[in-house]
Amino acid sequence: MTGDGKKKTRMSPLISAADLNIPVLGPPHVDSPLLSLLPQSSWQEIFIDESERILLEPDIRTIQGCLDKGEKIPSFETAGPRMKIYFDPSNVSAAIVTCGGICPGLNDVIRSLVMTLSHRYGVKKILGIRNGYQGFIEKYGTAPLNLTPETVSDIHKKGGTFLGTSRGNQSVTEIIDFMERRNIGMLFVIGGDGSQRGALEIAQMTQKKGMKTAVVGIPKTVDNDILYLDRSFGFATAASVACRVIETAHNEAVSQPNGIGLVKFMGRYSGFITCLAALAVNDANFVLIPEVPFKLDGENGFLARLKERLQRRSHAVVLVAEGAGQDLIPSEGGGRDASGNIRFKDIGIFLKDKINDYFKKEKMEVSLKYIDPSYIIRAVPAMPVDNVYCYLLGENAVHAAMSGRSEMVVGLVNNQYVHIPMRMIAQGRKQVDPNGPLWFSVLETTGQPAEMG
What residues are annotated to the active site? Answer: 223
Between CA 371 and CA 286 the distance in angstroms is: 15
Q: What is the largest CA-CA distance in the chain?
A: 78
Residues 310/302, Cβ–Cβ less than 8 Å: no
Evaluate whether 369 touches 50 at the Cβ level (below 8 Å): no
* First CA to last CA distance, the chain: 30
With 0-12 / 13-18 / 19 or more C-beta atoms within 10 angstroms meaning exposed / middle / buried, residue 232 is: buried
For residue 384, the tally of other CB atoms under 10 A from its CB is 9
Q: Are 406 and 400 in contact (CB under 8 A)?
A: no
Answer yes or no: are the C-beta atoms of 129 and 165 closer than 8 Å.
no
For 25-145, where are the alpha helices, taking DSSP H only?
43-46, 60-69, 106-115
- List residues bridging with 94 in a β-sheet: 126, 186
Nearest-10 Cα torsion for 429, 430, 435, 437: -170
Across the beta sheet with 214-219, the strand order is 53-55, 75-78, 416-421, 408-413, 214-219, 184-191, 93-98, 125-129, 145-146
